[in-house]
Amino acid sequence: MNREQALKIVKEQLTDHRYTHTIGVMETAILLAEKYGADEKKAETAAIFHDYAKFHPKDQMKQIIIEQQMPSDLLDFSSELWHAPVGAYFVEKAVGINDKEILDAIRFHTSGRVGMSLLEKIVYLADYIEPGRHFPGVDEVRRLAKTDLHAALVTSVQNSIMFLLKKGQPVYPLTIDMYNDLVINKE
């Protein structure tokens, strides 16, 4: 599938605003893949489809999580987390992409996890720093991303966890796991 075909498919699933975000993630992910030696084509495809399920109804996402025996603890945490694993499911079933690396980059783009692949890290970071993002701390992460993928990731996951803590919201265990893994293993 070429870029135009992929974009056409995802555009139908998204609002204009979210589609613009997706283009930003795609362009950023390709630049990061080039810089850090990941597969640029896989980065492009994963980025294009990363928010595929963002606007699926919550009850439908919940049903997929249960039916497909995804980690049931997802249901105890923010529904904002659900579009990532549910997106990976639909990108395989409805779009027909079978590449496990691409599907995992979609699956873990919100929560993160332990032992993230280079592609997963790139999509996670591109989602955080694409040019349309405007929140405190994003410029520092953009600066770090130019030279130090690891430092950029640590800072972005720190910011995300602090954001949730400040709002008194729960933090999904995989997000804490990602943070600990990066800090302990320094890679």
List the single partner that 175 binds among Fe ion, ligand DGI, none, CB under 5 to 8 Å by kind.
Answer: ligand DGI
Least Å distance between CB 62 and Fe ion? 17
Dihedral class, residue 112 (left if φ above 0, else alpha if ψ from -120 to 50, else beta) = left
Give the one residue of 24, 30, 54, 95 binding ligand DGI; rule: CB under 6 A: 54
Residues that bind Fe ion (CB under 5 A): 51, 127
Q: How far apart are CA 124 and CA 47, in angstroms?
A: 9
Stretch that binds ligand DGI, among 7-15, 37-45, 72-80, 93-101 (CB under 6 A): 72-80
**Which residues are CB-contacts of 84 (< 8 A; sequence separation ≥ 6)?**
50, 53, 106, 107, 108, 109, 110, 111
DSSP-derived secondary structure letter, 139: H
Give the one residue of 9, 14, 75, 171 binding ligand DGI; rule: CB under 6 A: 171
Q: How far apart are CA 45 and CA 41, in angstroms?
A: 6
- Which CA distances in Å does 84 have to 61, 88, 104? 10, 6, 9
Least Å distance between CB 99 and Fe ion? 19
Nearer Cβ to ligand DGI (110/118)? 110
Nearer Cβ to ligand DGI (19/36)? 19
Measured in degrees and rounded to the nearest 5, phi and psi for residue 177 equal -60, -40
Task: Write the binding mask 125 to 164 for ligand DGI: x where contact by CB under 6 A, - elsewhere.
Answer: --x--------------------------------x---x
Q: Nearest residue by C-beta to ligand DGI?
A: 172
